[in-house]
Structure 1
Amino acid sequence: MGETTARKCLAKFCEGVIKQYEAEYLRSLTDEDLRKILYRNEHRGFPGMIGSIDCMHWEWKKCPNAWKGQYCGRNKNATLILEAVADEDLWIWHSFFGIPGSCNDLNVLYRSSVFNDVLQGRAPPVKFTVNGHEYNLAYYLTDGIYPNWATFVQGFTHPQTPKKKLFADRKAGARKNVERAFGVLQARFAIIRQPALAYDEDILADIIKTCIIIHNMIVQDERDTYKNADVIRRYYEKDVASKNPRRRHQASTSATVNDDEPFQFQTGRPININNYLEKRDALRDRRTHQSLKDDLIEHIWQKFGDNNP
């Protein structure tokens, strides 16, 4: 097969996969998805945590010379950035691709759509309790470059106390979910492990999207065979039944989806600008960030510290 024909076939294949499977395998979190993620993460010591977020660079070998300057980062090679959020099963439920490699993770965040559902009122409202204090915004585990917002929790570079050291170790283990997802994604698909050879940025975006869709297909097919999958499922179903037999999807954990506040996923609903600004301020509240981090440190020490069996 000729090179041009092969590239056209690849483009058609990506187009077909996206058209057929994007709605299912690149969907936003549903009510049921969110409940299971909250349940699993609470048992790992992080109530209210819905995933870890990070960025991956994909080298763009065929980047046009006229654009190369804006796509080159510190390594002097043109790259495109993929931002993703992954859970413990390595399911990638948020992806944002196409930002020039000269940007860092923080610049990507400001352009990303990761908080759109929350800001526009389409995300299920979440409430959870940590160390006796109640919070109403789910959060992500991140590295140190991300800002001190209420929706981000970072670790410590040089923890000085046993409590902070334990927290840093537990947080590092949980945050590796997204790094593992990137590694598995590249291991499965040589096309994104090697430098990109396409000239069109839209084609590269379709390739990334197709790879993530197929990756999520594999995760869905294999997640029941993962280590401790049966144990987690049994405890989840047991807690569901013990809490309320009529609510089969409500787990008895301190982190829950608030059923008293209805939510909708319709994208065409008009946005109330005042509510939007209030939610934006709440997302970026530094005082809530510090309070949450302190409570998580104490919570993890009480749950996994040396004074506990």
Structure 2
Amino acid sequence: MAYGCAADAVDEYLRLGESTAISCLEKLLDKGEERGFPGMIGSIDCMHWEWKNCPTAWKGQYTRGSGKPTIVLEAVASYDLWIWHAFFGPPGTLNDINVLDRSPVFDDILQGKAPKVKYFVNGRRYNLAYYLTDGIYPDWATFIQSIQMPESEKAILFAQRQEAARKDVERAFGVLQARFAIVKNPALIWDKEKIGKIMRACLILHNMIVEDERAGYTQYDVDSFTQLEATRTSQVDLTYETDRPTNIGNLMGIRNSIRDQTKHDQLKADLVEHLWNKFGTNPNYGL
């Protein structure tokens, strides 16, 4: 998920086995289901890091409007603020959609290397996990946004739950900047490659701290995950996609399934019903 490759491809240098990667994915799906979003594996957004000493020749490329030069970080964060995907380097003139067009976040799906995911929402089966986003992201099958100006009680509940869960990535950015002042303050280095190494180092240290804090999980947390495993509707196969794209036609077919607006609308409508059935009698439960 972090590098757009098969789970066992990192065995040699990260010492992270395939079964461990699958287990992590299952935990993400379990937590998403507990919060009312089956099939959700995190929230995605972008953060800008000001580049004070941006070379003069590049300032027009990295400056939006009358602001200051910035470099963009795209990240996916989970419920515990672990950053699963990071893409750093696009110039600050790009918005979230332009960054997404350059991002490798869906490369594992496009290349047929992603684990197979199956889950049910409102009695309907889905096969693509999704991220929670803000309103700028497109209506793809892999993105679920909130509802602007909700009117019905069901829509209001959905917007409340979606916006609460989507804050995970915003909180991750806030914690990252609070922990590492070098990321919060403008970058003073001229070399963009060195700035990228600093950002990656901060992200790695951030995840190490999050992982260390997981050691403080209580028995309640363990029992909660155990109970979810027994009742989950989401499933992750231990095998990977076998129909890897062999030509541009197959690749475009997978790309179209990711960007399927009809599937997005259906999933969003099913999630509205699912959340109402799950939390309608107690809308503030778990928030």
TM-score (norm 1): 0.82
Pair 1:291-2:282 in alignment: no
Question: Which of 264, 281, 285 is equivalent to 1:306?
Answer: 281
Match of 2:111 in 1: 120
Residues 230-249 of structure 1: pairs in structure 2 closer than 5 A:
230-238=219-227, 240=229
Is 1:263 the counterpart of 2:240 in the alignment? yes
1:203: Cα distance to partner?
0.5
* Alpha-carbon distance in structure 1 between the residues aligned to 2:126 and 2:32: 16
Paired letter, 2:240: F
1:208 aligns with 2:190: no
* Aligned counterparts of 2:255 and 2:137: Cα–Cα separation in 1: 16
1:272 aligns with one of 238, 243, 246: 246
Distance 1:68 1:239, change over 3 A: closer
Q: 1:44 to 1:276 in 2, by over 3 A?
A: same
| Pairwise CA distance, 1:162 | 0.8
CA contact (8 A) 1:125 1:258 kept: yes
Displacement after TM superposition at 1:271 (Å) = 4.8
Are 2:78 and 1:104 aligned? no
The aligned runs of 1:68-147 (5 Å cut-off) are 68-147=59-138
In 1, Cα distance between equivalents of 2:228 and 2:156: 31
Letter in 1 for 2:128: L
CA distance in 2, matches of 1:60, 1:144: 27
Aligned-partner Cα distance in 1 for 2:138–2:22: 28
Match of 2:256 among 265, 278, 281: 281
How many residues are matched?
A: 270
Matches of 2:282 and 2:97, distance apart in 1: 38
Q: Which residue of 1 aligns with 2:3?
A: none
Rg larger in structure: 1
Q: Cα distance 1:156–1:238, how it changes in 2: closer, same or farther (>3 A)?
A: closer
Pair 1:155-2:146 in alignment: yes
How far apart are the structure 1 equivalents of 2:206 and 2:282?
Answer: 41
Give the match's secondary structure for 1:67: helix
Change (3 A) 1:43 1:171: same
Contact 1:224 1:230 in 2 (8 A): no
Unpaired runs of at least 5, structure 2 = 1-11
Counterpart Cα distance in 2 of 1:169 and 1:276: 36
Is the counterpart of residue 219 in structure 1 residue 196 in structure 2?
no
The alpha-carbon deviation at position 272 of structure 1 amounts to 1.8
| Two-structure CA RMSD over aligned residues (Å) | 2.4
Contact 1:40–1:232, Cα closer than 8 Å, also in 2: no
Residues 94 and 278 (structure 1), Cα distance of their counterparts in 2 relative to 1, 3 Å cut = same
* Residue in structure 2 matched with residue 173 of structure 1 by the alignment: 164
Asked if 1:189 corresponds to 2:180, the answer is: yes
Q: What's 1:249 paired with?
A: none
Deviation at 1:74, TM superposition (A): 3.6
CA distance in 1, matches of 2:13, 2:166: 26
Check 1:230–1:85 CA distance in 2 against 1; reply closer, same or farther (3 A cut): farther
* CA distance in 2 between partners of 1:307 and 1:49 (Å): 21
* Per-residue deviation, 1:231: 2.5
Which string of whole-angstrom CA distances, capped at 9 and with x for unpartnered residues, describes residues 78-99 of structure 1?
0000000000010001000000
Q: In the TM superposition, what is the alpha-carbon distance from 1:24 to its structure 2 partner?
A: 6.3
C-alpha distance in 2 between matches for 1:69 and 1:166: 43
- Contact 2:34-2:228 within 8 A present in 1 as well: no
8 Å Cα contact 2:30/2:228 also seen in 1:
no
Name 1:8's counterpart in structure 2.
Answer: none
- 1:12 corresponding residue in structure 2: none
